[in-house]
Amino acid sequence: PVVPSPPRLPRRCRAHHGSRPWSGWQRIDRRSVLGRRRLDGRLPDEDMATAFRSIARAAIEDKADVFLIAGDLFDRAQVEPGHLRQAQGVLMLLKEAGIPVVAIEGNHDKHFVSSHQPTWVQYLAQDGLLAVLRPVFNEQGAVLDQWNPETHAGAWIELKGVRFVGA
């Protein structure tokens, strides 16, 4: 039997667009980043977007099959217009390269962890820039429906023979 090769994925991405001066990312290699202090606020606001864009460009260069956002695309639920534009620009690069973006919402993307209020990550999904995976809960528990590109909702998606499930 022929065993399909696993999809090519970047290691991880948590962009934290709009991050306050106390947190940030340090580039380790072209595919991974590590959290660190932002030098007491001396780094420009653009540094998060630059790191995110760099990771996306590496994914494009490496011809990644899927780009994963492991929550916290934004640093807080209230997103400033410039930070939204930065995220849209990077996600558009990936879309134009034909690399699907799969995301989950992190605790920073929501007003409250258990909140059902719309998020900016959902807004980007409605624009067709990513698939945000989130289960729906009812009295029996989690409902894991397949991602529907028309409704921009679902808890799982299958790409290149691999199933991604949001939590």
Single-letter amino acid, residue 81? P
Tokens standing for 63? 């011809």
H or E element, residue 60: helix 47-61
Name 158's Cβ contacts closer than 8 Å, sequence gap at least 6.
146, 164
Rg of the chain over Cα atoms, rounded to whole angstroms, equals 16
Question: Do 100 and 67 form a contact (C-beta atoms < 8 A)?
Answer: yes
Question: Order of strands, edge to edge, in the sheet holding 67-70?
Answer: 67-70, 101-104, 131-132
Ramachandran sector of residue 33 (left: φ over 0; alpha: ψ -120 to 50; beta: rest) = beta
Tokens standing for 75? 């640093």
Known active-site residue 16:
no
Catalytic residue among 16, 17, 83, 108: 108
Q: Which residues are catalytic?
A: 108
